[in-house]
Structures are given as structure tokens and as C-alpha cells.
Homo-oligomer: A and B are copies of this chain.
Amino acid sequence: MIQTFANCQIFRNLSLGEIKEISSRATPAHYERGSFIFEIGDPANYLYIMEKGSVKLHNMSPSGKGVTFEISKAGDTLNGSALSTGTYFVSAQALTDVTVLRIARNEFFGFVAKYPNLAMEIIHLLSARLKTEYKRMAAIQREEVEQRVCRSLVALASKFGTTLSMKREELADYTGTATETTIRVLGRLKRAGIVGCSAHKGEIVIADMDKLRAAIVDTDDPR
């Protein structure tokens, strides 16, 4: 458990003693694949820290149209900003069996007020995430679908490696396109040798990472 905290970005600048103090207030919880850790709109009473497994943060509309914001893994917090806004603004669904640690909102904020290093790391983390979202917005508004699929693949691969275990539909929700459209793009990428052909169901293998990266630099403003 201590190790989980030490691996978590927002706690990394704390001393071992401080981490021990905080982790003493955390309780573990398990969720099985497919279940929800919380749903959008629930009151945000706990900070969740991922220990094991992966979780999809998304906003599924009643019509079935999903928007995926992030896939979280060990060391990530789940929609931690919601502790500030009062209610979770995304849903968290387990993609695998999952173990999390959770800390009550008030206790967590107590620590934040007490340890400037912790507050500072949170600020850095939120800033980085905001930057990511801004870039993503710019990409969505400017780029064509093929670009965006490639961009999604790069983002996912840099976090999870070149073998992604996700369905086409999940990639489509992450990219923000129809499933069929994503499949057609993947088809083109296969023919270009960028994506592997063999891949099992529910799996996407990136065959040539360099080519993939090259495919998204052609547009304006490489920054």
C-alpha cells in the first residue's frame, strides 16, 4: 500500500513518514470488471487511488453515445478534481478487476492544507491535465479523423505500451468518432504497416511506432 502511494504522482515529494501517515487513513476496495466505482453526478466523498487494474473515465449518454476521457492505471487518481467541484463529473468503470485505495474527502483536504508539497504536486498535475485537454480540443476542432485516431493511439501507447487491449468501439469513443469510421482508419493503418494485422479480438497492436508518430506531425503547429 505504501508503495502505491509512493508511485502516485501527487505524493511523490512527500517524505516516507508523511506517506505513512496518509496511507494509514486509506482503505482498500475491490471492484470487478464492468462495475462502476462511481457514476457521473455522484457526490464526490472519496479520493480514489488506483492500485491495480485499469479504469475507464467516461461520460455515457442515455442514447448510448459514449465519450471516453481517460484510461487510468496504477498510480492514477480517479477524477480527483471532483473533490473540489462536489460531484464526480465523469463515470469510472472498471475495465478489469480493480483494486483501489480510498481516502475520505475531508481527510484528504486536511493533508493538502498541511503539506505544501502535496498541494504543489496537485497543482502541477492539474495543470498538465488541463494542457492535455486543451491540445485535445484544438485537435478535435482542427484535425481530420485519421489524424485524431493516430493521436489517440500515440497517447494510449505511451501509457500502456504498443499492445492495447481495447475494443474498436472503445478506441472510437476515446477518439470521438463512430466505430465504423475508426475501423476504416485502422484498416488504412494496417495496409500502411503501422498497425499489426494479426491482433486478437479486443486488441490493437501498434507495429511501427515511428511511422505512427510521423503520421501526426504533418499538420499545423507541431507543438
Contacts and interface: CB of A to CB of B under 8 A. Distances in A.
Interface of A: 40-41, 59, 61-63, 65, 67, 69, 81-85, 89-90, 109, 112-114, 116, 119-120, 122-124, 126-131, 133-138, 140-142, 176, 219-221, 223
Given A133-B134, A141-B176, 14 more contacts: A59-B221, A61-B142, A65-B220, A69-B134, A82-B127, A84-B127, A89-B131, A89-B134, A112-B116, A112-B119, A112-B120, A113-B120, A119-B123, A126-B126
A126 B142 CA distance: 25
A156 B112 CA distance: 33
A128 B85 contact: yes
A69 B128 contact: no
Given A119-B119, A120-B113, A123-B122, A67 B141 contact: yes
Contacts of A128: 84-85
10 contacts: A40-B221, A41-B223, A61-B219, A69-B134, A89-B131, A90-B134, A113-B120, A137-B137, A137-B140, A137-B176
A148 to B, nearest CB: 11
Contacts of A63: 220
Which of A81, A114, A127 has the largest count of B CB atoms less than 10 A from its CB? Answer: A127
Contacts of A138: 59, 67
Contacts of A133: 130, 133-134, 137
A83 to B, nearest CB: 8
Contacts of A131: 81-82, 85, 89
A127 B220 contact: no
B134 A136 contact: no
A47 to B, nearest CB: 12
